[in-house]
Structure 1
């Protein structure tokens, strides 16, 4: 069946706009809700590409600006409906932020805010420290990590970091309200000057996870890697998961990530609650001191027989680099900069020697739960000190963004991915890339501003920024329906949004639709679960997807698949002047 693929949520009036056809056509038209033709244009044949397997044809309607509801027609085929509006992404932004609230663990949900997705308090018992004869520990709170009910220090730290870097780069994120309980702001300065009002919603939500991560830190500064039951719970509601909780071993990765995210959080919360911010900084320095006292990597492996998420890593160098960079940016202390230089050299050597890399591109732009040097470089960019490490960060982001734009030129969807990127969680690979492109555009925007907006530099920068922005828009389009599966990978957003995430509560809560704003893992050539293996063999990468609850390798959700989309959309809102 012939199809027209496009962003099912819609477009801003002055943004790029396109639909991709998998059939030959000469012309297309834009039709409004009343059935009237509002615009028409020529279809351009792009050709076949290996990631979608489609012979693609592109209908560009970037020159159509009128607000309204429409669909595209060509040769008797109609696309899903979409909207053109200045506010087209408002609901999406609120949904992707609020999904963290629905994932809260403990007794943090309120029927007023959770509505039909409310569940009773869960995982309220103290956790046994695995392998140690010591008192159980209160580690209540935080967010459930993914389709399961585990809570993991490295994953949680990275998700919070995506949100908080979003605040640092694009403070308009502080203005987004998404209907969660208000949290009173504290004292904002050393002289105890009081702030009236509440924390911005994004900071109130991030604080839920920060408070939990504080509980995961031991007195000596080290951090437990995770708290879970010994094995994954069956598909039951959170409050029915009453098996014994275990705190599993300390890891140097978790300790470094917590040092980094606490330092980052300090730079923001000090404007709202000085006492809380000082507590974060004290915890960050305590974790960092433990790292200094324990220079050898302390990696993590699951206990024998345990099957909850391992989140294992091959090294802890990128984590230590991030911690040093974040503390340097937060404090200005030269010793952290010197440590970051050391870790940079170590990471560069490790990267060159690695026989297998779990990432594409520049290691200094990696933003996932494992390789986190890109987060360290974001702190360096925020320092804006003109140092050698600042220049490394700037160069790395710009060069990686250029690589991604080269990828985008190779397929009809304008997608910055290649076939190697369609792994477990491919949509996070995309969103990490969109973060890189967003940061690169920000760098060039700042450069243009500093250049006074005129002259050869400003003209060059404007042209480059347009290239990055085009790739960002194409990536958002892909996520929201302009893909060969003809599906929006964000629940509740788009006419054909996916509906069956591998997520325990939404699978069995007797509510027909999942809560909105969840990002699917997306197509994955590995097809690691039994249901996924029912798909035909040798599918093109973009088509290795199935919207089914059993597809944990294709359709699970996680906090760190949502968080980069929040960052990217904050950048979009900034470009909108919002």
Structure 2
């Protein structure tokens, strides 16, 4: 929707709204106050905050959320204390309406201001990540599927390399960097990594509507992987030999004029563009030079991206995967050999990517090599992980966090990606150390953000939207690693900022959402020359007023529709002439694709959403499974708390209750010991056993005794089937018919002990491994899938000393005790999984220490209950 149409739409909407809210005394329209919202919408169980902003110091004490369909007040809330002046506003208030969870269309009224309409719904972010892939495809160099034509096919000629200058090398492909057409490994590798990570972490978010070349069609591979491979293919060309590494294609001579991408002929060698060899020394062919000191910043990005590509992209072309494996290792070696930063090369202008950090890239590289080695051989090299940790300790906090300014791309890629990738491979003190680095960085931003209504702690430098996106990801990763929702509202505020909860009330993503105020006149040749939509492109974002005033060559080409919202603090212009705030970037868009995928595959972080930073809460109902959407359960009451296509992994976080759950298949040697301990301690537990366990004569007495003692019994599949592939979780290994027959046989075996389906509605999957299809099939049979609560390694009590993942009982108990120390409510609603028996090779039986564990939980104030009591509707 263009801006002129949008203005008429808003006028019409206000007329409709005035009818809807007729029950209120109508106030005259005052253009001095506004309510800013996330125009993309809010999820029912998520944090929901709007911002009231006024040009006068007005007192606002309450607000109303109104159902557009009925005109009824859905929620009345108190604004809380005034948040003070910010930017162009004399006064601001935060309007938190997280208590409203009912899906629908709403508006907010506070004082004289009325918000635009917005949606609360489970699917408000559905398809958003795929939408932003449109921009990535449009940025392709070589064959461009949007234009259905090719460009830059003659690239390129080498400079600074060991070969003679102007030697031809094949460097065609990849993505244009922003709305200009030069290309950098720095941003392309970061973008490729985020696309690969988005698929790895959220595979079911993405569709398959395009071929590998970007044209419409299906090729049985997610579109995000097609796009990631496009990036990988070009990166392999830029690291063609183990001792050759190129860093850049083209330079700022590209800025000679706006044009639709084609075969450029102004670099002095026909249609070829210069390809800069990574020397580790300052470079610049014209007036200006960079301050390069090494190659590690680029080498690390190569290595981590190739390693993640090796793990993530499954191809029949074995040679391709081997090449990724080899280039990951060779790139890492080059980074070790030449530490330092490999900045991009300027030319006629002084602007370049002034990256001044590199140990973060090498940390990510080493951590990624660890994963790659694990995927290849089943174990990682301890020395590689040790090196990663050493790099981590050099840059503990990304330097811009909490700062007021930084040079252009000085601390790139804006957050330390390596801390997350490494922390997932560590345990105990070392893992906590990395998590603490994230927390310290978030806290630095929070100290600034807590002083204003928008919770804005991000410096308004070039590409502030990229920093905002990355910081939201860091908050998300911290929450994933810890379960701590302390910073959840800060995390959401950064996401909301990108989609309209900002002083200008506009989304920062072209065309998203289609009904909202989004950039219409970006600094892009596609829109400026041809009026082509650049769907999904994230624009640079607001900059400090003093930065804007001192930039070269900025002239607004049309009246500023946001003039009322500009200030000396910060400006944003939806104008083609403002390349500092309104130019879309390829790498920022790729990062946003990861964030949007995380939001779509929401893990329902807290039943107490809306907690302000500083008030720590424990991670509640975390739903595991590859597709984290929304949904229902086995009873009408439980439909309020159990999302569709999810397993329940936690009970009520407001109750100090915990369920001990035992699973069993071929081993049951602990049955009698467990029964005796539970009886002695006077508690009830839950047992999920396979059909063959129920049928095994040797286990009959233990089952009978446990049944007599009043414990819960459930199904664990008849033959302990592996439902889906370990690496590609969305790939089923059983048919619907096989699943149904196996589960029926499991319940038939339970029937022999008088256990009916009605008294055993909960089903725990074999191997604790499943996907959304299994959840759905279970539900259709009338059963609700559950799983253990993540956070401890209690489930490792089956491991034997010959296994690489072996964990002793001491280590397991320590993980449980450490988790419990995080908070007095750490185990509220927790499902703690153990095994009723283990292989004979494991002589260190955890069930022999069950009494010790129970007494610890009791001493911490927890009531130990059956699973059906823990998950009872509330």
The answer to whether TM tops 0.5 is: yes
Structure 1 residue 21: Cα displacement: 1.2
The secondary structure found in structure 1 opposite 2:304 is helix
The structure number with the bigger radius of gyration is 2
- The number of aligned residues is 519
Say which SS state the counterpart of residue 546 (structure 1) adopts.
coil
SS at match of 2:262: helix
Contact 1:238 1:505 in 2 (8 A): no
**Structure 1 212/387 Cα, relative in aligned 2: closer, same or farther at 3 Å?**
farther
Within the candidate set 39, 46, 68, 2:74 is matched to 39
- CA gap of 1:99–1:178, structure 2 versus 1, over 3 A, is farther
Q: Paired residue for 2:470?
A: 432
Q: Work out which of the residue numbers 175, 183, 186 in structure 2 matches 1:154.
A: 186
* 1:28 matches 2:26: no
Task: Write the mapping of 1:8-157 to structure 2, written as runs, cut at 5 A.
Answer: 8-23=39-54, 24=58, 25-34=60-69, 36-44=71-79, 45-50=81-86, 53-109=89-145, 114=146, 118=147, 120-131=149-160, 132-133=164-165, 135-157=167-189
Q: Distance in 2 between matches of 1:101 and 1:483?
A: 28
Matched, 1:202 2:206: no
Q: Corresponding residue for 1:453? A: none
Cα separation, 2, equivalents of 1:400 and 1:333: 29
Q: Could you tell me which of 135, 142, 164 is aligned with 2:196?
A: 164
Change (3 A) 1:427 1:86: same
The answer for the alignment partner of 2:521 in structure 1 is 500
Deviations 1:116-135 (A, max 9, x none): xx352111113011253453
Match for residue 206 of structure 2 among 163, 176, 185:
176
Which residue of structure 2 aligns with residue 247 of structure 1?
A: 275
Q: CA deviation at 1:519?
A: 1.1
Q: Spell out, residue by residue over 1:361-414, the C-alpha distance to the aligned partner (whole angstroms, 9 max, x if none).
A: 7xxxxx98735771222220232x327654432221233334444444332123
What is the distance in 2 between the residues matched to 1:497 and 1:179? 25
Shift in Å, 1:9: 1.5
Per the alignment, do residues 160 and 517 of structure 1 end up closer, same or farther by CA in structure 2, a change over 3 Å counting? Answer: same
Q: How far did 1:520 drift?
A: 1.6
CA gap of 1:140–1:410, structure 2 versus 1, over 3 A, is: same
Say if 1:270 and 1:6 are closer, same or farther in 2 by CA, change over 3 A. same
Deviation of the 1:509 alpha carbon: 1.6
Question: Does the CA contact (< 8 Å) of 1:29 and 1:37 recur in 2?
Answer: no
Q: Give the secondary structure class of the aligned counterpart of 2:312.
A: helix
Q: 2:387 aligns to what?
A: 339
Which region of structure 1 is more displaced relative to structure 2, 81-90 or 65-74? 65-74
Does residue 444 of structure 1 match 2:482?
yes
The 2-side partners of 1:210 and 1:153 are apart by 11
- Which whole-Å deviations, capped at 9, do the CAs of 1:477-536 have from their partners, x for residues lacking one? 11111111111111112421121222222221234xx33211121111111254379989
Distance 1:248 1:60, change over 3 A: same
- Select which of 475, 479, 482 maps to 2:494: 475
Are the aligned partners of 2:127 and 2:205 in contact in 1 as well (CA < 8 Å)? Answer: no
Matches within 5 A, 1:298-447: 299-300=342-343, 302=345, 305-307=347-349, 310-331=352-373, 332-344=380-392, 346-347=394-395, 358-360=400-402, 370=412, 374-383=416-425, 385-386=426-427, 389-415=430-456, 417-418=457-458, 421-445=459-483
How far apart are residue 299 of structure 1 and its match?
Answer: 3.5
Name the counterpart of 2:338: 295
1:360: Cα distance to partner? 3.9
Cα distance between partner residues in 2 of 1:161 and 1:517? 18
TM-score by length of 1: 0.81
Normalising to structure 2: TM-score of the pair? 0.55
Change (3 A) 1:539 1:76: closer
Deviation for aligned residue 1:254: 1.9
Q: CA RMSD in A?
A: 3.2
Return closer, same or farther for 1:487/1:330 CA change in 2, 3 Å cut-off. same
Structure 2 residue matching 1:231: 3-state secondary structure: helix
Residue 140 of structure 2: SS of its match in structure 1? coil
Q: Note closer, same or farther for the CA distance 1:343–1:441 as it changes in structure 2 (3 Å cut).
A: closer
Of the two structures, which has the highest relative contact order with CA contacts closer than 8 Å and spacing of 6 or more? 1
- C-alpha distance in structure 1 between counterparts of 2:115 and 2:51, whole Å: 10
Instruction: Summarize the Cα distance change of 1:398–1:165 in structure 2 as closer, same or farther, 3 Å threshold.
Output: farther
Alignment of 1:216 onto 2:258: no
Give CA deviations for 1:451-494 in whole Å, capped at 9, x if unaligned: xxxxxxxxxxxxx32x3322222222111111111111111124
User: Counting helix residues as a fraction of each chain, which structure ranks higher?
Assistant: 1
> Which residue of 266, 278, 282 maps to 2:322?
278
Q: State the distance in 1 between where 2:84 and 2:64 align.
A: 23
Q: Does the aligned pair in 1 maintain the 2:184–2:344 contact within 8 Å?
A: no
Whether 2:253 is the aligned partner of 1:231: answer: yes
User: CA 1:197 to 1:180, structure 2 compared with 1: closer, same or farther past 3 Å?
Assistant: closer
Q: Equivalent residue for 2:36?
A: 5
Secondary structure of 1:86's aligned partner: coil
In 2, distance between residues paired with 1:554 and 1:538?
12
8 A contact 2:38–2:500 mirrored in 1: yes
Helix, strand or coil at the partner of 1:225: strand
CA distance in 2, matches of 1:17, 1:316: 37
Structure 2 SS opposite 1:266: helix
| CA displacement at 1:53 relative to structure 2 | 4.5
Judge conservation of contact 2:540–2:582 (CA < 8 Å) in 1. Answer: yes
SS at match of 1:83: strand
Structure 1: tracts of 5 or more residues without a match: 185-195, 362-366, 446-463
